[in-house]
Structure 1
Amino acid sequence: MSQTQLQPNTIIPAKPFNAKAARRKAFIKKLAKNKAAMAGGFIVFFFAILAILAPVIAPYDPDHIEIIKKLEGPSAEHWLGTDDKGRDILSRLLFGAQISLSVGFVSTLLGAFAGVILGIVSGYYGGRTDTIIMRLTDVLLAFPGILLALAIVSVLGASTINVIIAVAFFAVPTFARIVRGSTLSVKKLEYIDAIRAMGASDFRIIFKHILPNIVSPIIVQATLYIASAIITASALSFLGMGTQPPTAEWGTMLSQGRSYIAQAPHITLFPGLVILIVVIGFNLFGDGLRDALDPKTKN
């Protein structure tokens, strides 16, 4: 008998169960079934690709001025028309995507980083530390986001960097509260007490055992907050407190076209539509992530 031939009583070992792979597969399956989330993800991906490839696919230099062609409507030469200085609106929208999306992503990343640190420290240690951090977040949350951002930019000065700082600053209390609540829930679990009894340090418990278990709400909140960050940044630029001309940015384009809204409505129409579509895309994708990551939802 061949050595490779199985004996009658040979027991084939079962393939070990991989919990992480199973959860990942279930998450992808639930997300793929959500058509709204898939549509939102496609919108986000599409505009991200446009922003990256803007220097390659833009038909014109976004700052190229042709006064004789100013305020022209959509045509074969300029698909979305030209602005008050004869600049191609499509090219400016493509390059503006780089600024607007960068502000949204970077400000959310900075705000989430600071908020996660404060929230997890507040929830884990509790006591006076928790009280101080939460009262500070209450004070910040008492102000409407756009007013707080306006106040910060007014002090720092109008620029893209300062807009990122202002929008990130307002994101901190929101992330801190979400992370604190999640940390309080995880901290009460028995295995955390067992790990602490084994002599694990607070740093190890926080970053190896608590943080990985509260990543889901952080990701969902970050995805949803990017939409708010883009709107806030565009609003600041519209008011002249954000990205300064002649840099192409969606809010700045809206501001420059408002004087010609009756004569050439396309100048404000297309930037406004782009902002609307991108914000809807992030919100749809964020809602889909929340449903897919929630274990209570059915497959």
Structure 2
Amino acid sequence: MNVIRMLSPYLLGFIFILSVIWPMVSVEPVVQTFLYGEDGSVVDTTPYPPSSLYWLGTDREGNDLFYMLVTGAKWTMLFAFVITLLRIFLAILMGVWLKNWFVSPYGEGLLQAFTFIPQSLIAIIWMTPFLLYEVRSAPPFTMAESVFLQIMVMTAVGVPATAKMIGETVRHIHSFEFMDSARVLGGSSFHQARRHILPHLFPRLIVLSGRQLVQVLTLMLHLAIFHIFIGGTTITSGQEHDQFNVYASLTKEWAGLIGSRYGELLLEPYIVFFPVMAYSLLILLTNMTFKHLEKSSQKV
């Protein structure tokens, strides 16, 4: 287990690099709605099960699952890491400079809303009017605008609770004797934060970062169930007269592959199984990576 924990950062890096390089060295398989035999007769139709032609099979539209998983990995990881870094950065600023505000009656009352109301519910309410649309109308936002909105909302819903935890830790650090010495010697607030608070806060930040990253990945999955995919959602008609809408992720990120195809669970389970296994592996490697970083920081 220790060996796997040590290798987990390298495995995450390998998955990310492979996802970046793969579209450059491989051509996306052409969608084939029907497979024909040598005599020209139709021998199979989508979705195709895993085979030597399609390693992980295809979805109902004929898209290769292996290609989508590999190319979508970078967007899944990049988006989750960016959101986590923004949450931690803003939470540090708020926790260090507004530490006393979090224990005030007004601050505690406001933060209770973010404690008891699920983050996914807040994010769904804020994003649904801007990202989902009628099948015959155009998307309200471009891909860049959708990503910007999602980053802002998913960062905002996680910052208050994280900042409160950091603020409590900062208040505890301020109770130490060396902080009294720093204040008596005339150290500015910036000096105290840089030389005394942040070094003692660093091990705690590693733990918080790991939790936040898993939390962001979970939030992405919750949003995907409601067809809110990273980078935007394309909505097309599955049949004539729009009886059934088909939702797809523009970036092919893993949460979107799960959220757009969970209805296949009882029909073609492999279409959902492989994205779920990939997503579970990502969360497992993330947990192991931050456990390794936490132990490494304790040895320093």
- Interval containing the TM-score (normalised by the shorter chain): 0.7 to 0.9
Distance 1:129 1:231, change over 3 A: closer
**Structural mapping, 1:252-267, within 5 Å:** 252-267=256-271
Structure 1 position 42, deviation (Å): 4.3
Between the aligned residues of both structures, percent identity stands at 22
Instruction: Give the Cα–Cα distance (whole angstroms) in 1 for the partners of residues 116 and 102 of structure 2.
Output: 20
1:208 aligns with 2:195: yes
**What residue is the counterpart of 1:153 in the other structure?**
127
Deviations 1:186-227 (A, max 9, x none): 212222222222222212212332123202211221123212
Distance 1:149 1:217, change over 3 A: same
Corresponding residue SS for 2:5: helix
**What residue is the counterpart of 1:105 in the other structure?**
81
Instruction: Give the Cα–Cα distance (whole angstroms) in 1 for the partners of residues 202 and 83 of structure 2.
Output: 18
**What residue is the counterpart of 1:217 in the other structure?**
204
Deviations 1:263-299 (A, max 9, x none): 422211111110111111112233343444457xxx9
Deviations 1:26-56 (A, max 9, x none): xxxxxxx934532543443332233332323
Match of 1:162 among 134, 141, 149: 149
Distance 1:86 1:45, change over 3 A: same
Q: Contact conserved, 1:163 with 1:233, CA < 8 A, in 2?
A: no
Q: Contact conserved, 2:114 with 2:161, CA < 8 A, in 1?
A: no
Distance 1:111 1:246, change over 3 A: closer
Distance 1:130 1:260, change over 3 A: closer
Match of 2:159 among 164, 172, 175: 172
Pairwise CA RMSD: 2.6
Q: Contact conserved, 1:78 with 1:90, CA < 8 A, in 2?
A: yes
Please, which runs of 5 or more residues in structure 2 have no aligned partner?
A: 36-45, 133-145, 234-247
Match of 2:118 among 121, 139, 144: 144
Deviations 1:224-254 (A, max 9, x none): 3212212211321232122313521212222
1:94 aligns with 2:70: yes
**What residue is the counterpart of 1:47 in the other structure?**
15
Instruction: Compare the two structures and name the one with the higher helix fraction.
Output: 1
**What residue is the counterpart of 1:233 in the other structure?**
220
1:279 aligns with 2:283: yes
Structure 1 position 87, deviation (Å): 1.3
Please, which runs of 5 or more residues in structure 1 have no aligned partner?
A: 1-32
Instruction: Give the Cα–Cα distance (whole angstroms) in 1 for the partners of residues 229 and 179 of structure 2.
Output: 45
**What residue is the counterpart of 2:48 in the other structure?**
72
Instruction: Give the Cα–Cα distance (whole angstroms) in 1 for the partners of residues 277 and 102 of structure 2.
Output: 45
Q: Which letter maps to 1:68?
A: F
Instruction: Compare the two structures and name the one with the higher strand fraction.
Output: 2
Distance 1:258 1:179, change over 3 A: closer
**Structural mapping, 1:14-25, within 5 Å:** none
The worse-fitting range, judged by mean Cα deviation, of 105-114 and 231-240 is 231-240
Instruction: Give the Cα–Cα distance (whole angstroms) in 2 for the partners of residues 145 and 246 of structure 1.
Output: 21
**What residue is the counterpart of 1:28 in the other structure?**
none
Distance 1:116 1:93, change over 3 A: same
Structure 1 position 101, deviation (Å): 1.0
Instruction: Give the Cα–Cα distance (whole angstroms) in 1 for the partners of residues 279 and 266 of structure 2.
Output: 21
